Amino acid sequence: MPFALIADGRAGTGALIGASVCFGLGFGIVQNEALLIAFRRAGSEHIGSASAAWNIGFDAGTGAGSFALGAVAAAAGYPAAFAVAALLVPTLPLLARLAGPSERPRSST
């Protein structure tokens, strides 16, 4: 069920709690998996650098995304912001996968 319907009270408290649990689980899984991929790619000698880079990137991406969608919501309303988010959520990971490096870890030489 779309968060927009839940947010305005049409779906009820149970749907809000269920959607929140699903969102939290999805966010937690993606966050942990992304950090593990960064560690694996960096290799054991560069875990600290990978952790710092991942945290900077994750926080910057969260902030930039919030700012951008807030600008869309302010200019065109929340339905437009939800529509933009719905388009970006499947598109950006696909583009990152197509453009990004392979899963091969860095050699520890």
pLDDT in tens, 51-109: 999 999 999 999 999 999 999 999 999 889 989 998 998 898 899 888 876 666 556 55
Residue 78, in any domain of the structure? yes
Domain range for 61 is 3-99
The type of residue at 2 is P
Residue 107, in any domain of the structure? no
Is pLDDT at 48 greater than 90 in this prediction? yes
CA–CA separation, 47 and 108 (whole Å): 12
Residue 12, in any domain of the structure? yes
CA–CA separation, 85 and 80 (whole Å): 9
Provide the domain count of the chain: 1
Residue 49, in any domain of the structure? yes
Residue 105, in any domain of the structure? no
For the whole model, what pTM was predicted?
0.64
The pLDDT, as a whole number, for residue 72 is: 96
